[in-house]
Amino acid sequence: LGCTVEMIREMRKDANIRAKLRAKLTGKRRSDDDEDDAVEASRAESDDSDDEGRAAIGRKHTKPPYSISSNGRYYSNRDLPDLVTDSDLSNGLKALLGILRANASDPGSIYVGHLGCLLTELALEHYRLHEFAARDWRAIIRHSRAPQLSSHRVTLLEGPGVAHRALLVVAGDHGAPLQELLDFSRTVQDLPLSNCEVLYGRAGYLSALLWIADFAQLSEESRANVSRVCGGVVRDIVDDAHWRGDHYHWEWHDRPYLGAAHGTAGIVYALCQYIRHFDPEDGPQLLQRLIATVSWVLARCRCSNGNIESSVGSRSGGKLVHWCHGATGWIPTLIQLSAAIAQLKPRDHEALLSRIREVLCSLGEVVYERGLLAEKGAGLCHGVGGSTMALIALYSHTGDGTWLRKARQFALFAGRYGQWLSESFADRPYSLYEGLAGATAAIAATLAATRGQDNVTRIFPGF
């Protein structure tokens, strides 16, 4: 393209760069690029780190040999191999881990920084994939300087200070790190009432506490303290100002997003987790409102192609099949909603569970058809790593081996082509939610599920 590395880094500060590069190459701009770019612009505005990522466009690694859809968004799944062996996946995981461990040195968050790579190492231990667990993530996090907690980064995914302390708690330090996180709730309480989403808002802070409750061995006293703080955060998220009579309406940057990163799916996921973990007194009423909200979305924002729109009123036709926007992020949300319904057993719960299962399977087909993303890195947010995780989550929920077979096909794709995709398209090519660490995590989760472990995706926030 005639661009130096420095030029590319500068251009990435403009969130429209992908569309501009595409227009230069193809002479056209997709009508739904604006939707994608609005989110990237907001991420760029709020990114206060010095790291601009590695500009790696043009590196020569294995490019997928498959045909690409007419809109250029995804590779065809028609020629994926039917037989995927455990050796195929193990070899792919080993190769990607070698690349990741040699390159993942950026500081920062779980979403785009080294903490996400540490979470991948934690997952290897959690999955009992001991043959791949070469790094002592506990020693690394304990000997790393804790970033300051920031009112601009209050969440598990995008807050380095929050994530660092959460990892310390899971590593066994239930003293100062946990107390600092709980005290940080006062800062979260002062956020604008509209700031409720997962990447930068209250649901993202709530997710940090729920993740700790899931994976740390807390005392009864500590668990009670976590429950109390979570309850206060939830009250703000479900404030009556967000209730429209028949559904919750949350906005981010004045737009009613529906996906997992900035909208309804991610918030509902966190609220269902809260209900399941702590069984609050007002849980049944909250669950009824969440059921009503999801029903409203499915009735009004489901596309003819089976996907769910990225925002209320969007006219993109459901072209985005990502965790952040679309079916990939809605699958884990509906699984969490199903689990909450099964636990509380509201009226007609069996019929509700049956309907949700039908929707889940339909969304799974959307991900399988359009989840081999062609213009993205291989990460969990918008890449084949996230698509694979969604299929694994479906397998864990339904027990249907068809979803495991499809996930194994995607995991093999991630192992073979994840490096090329990540180094060609991701701003942070070795990160968890944008790049190669996401592909690595997806292969590891697939192997763990194949070996009989359940709910393997939940260790990664949002899945």
- The phi, psi pair for 422, rounded to 5°, reads -70, -40
How far is 115 from 431, CA to CA, in rounded Å? Answer: 9
Q: Which residue in this structure is represented by tokens 């039917």?
A: 82
Q: How far apart are the C-alpha atoms of 106 and 150, rounded to whole Å?
A: 19
For residue 328, what are the β-bridge partners?
none
Distance CA 333, CA 270 (A): 8
Is 381 assigned to a binding site?
yes
What is the distance between the alpha carbons of residues 90 and 75, in angstroms, rounded to a whole number?
23
Q: Under a CB-based contact definition with an 8 Å cutoff, are residues 93 and 415 in contact?
A: yes
Contact (Cβ atoms closer than 8 angstroms) between residue 426 and residue 379 = yes
The strand pairing partners of 257, in sequence order, are: 311
Measure the CA–CA gap between 397 and 182, rounded to whole angstroms.
32
Cβ-based neighbours of 143, under 8 Å, separated by 6 or more: none
324 is in an annotated binding site: yes
Q: Which run of H or of E encompasses 114?
A: helix 114-126
Looking up tokens 């925002």 gives: 311
**Dihedral of alpha carbons 53, 106, 117, 209, sign:** negative
Alpha carbon distances (Å) from 384 to 139, 286, 327, 418, 463: 30, 33, 13, 8, 14
CA 161/CA 180 separation, integer angstroms: 10
Place of tokens 């069984």: 279
Token pair, residue 25, equals 């190459």
Conformational region of residue 453, where left means phi above 0, alpha means psi within -120 to 50, and beta covers everything else: beta
Let me know the angle formed at the C-alpha of 89 by 374 and 216, rounded to the nearest 5 degrees.
Answer: 95
Please give the DSSP secondary-structure letter assigned to residue 459.
G
Alpha-carbon gap, residue 205 to 196, rounded angstroms: 9
| Residues 273 and 336: beta-carbon distance below 8 Å | yes
| Residues tagged in the binding site annotation for Zn(2+) | 324, 381-382
| Residues tagged in the binding site annotation | 324, 381-382
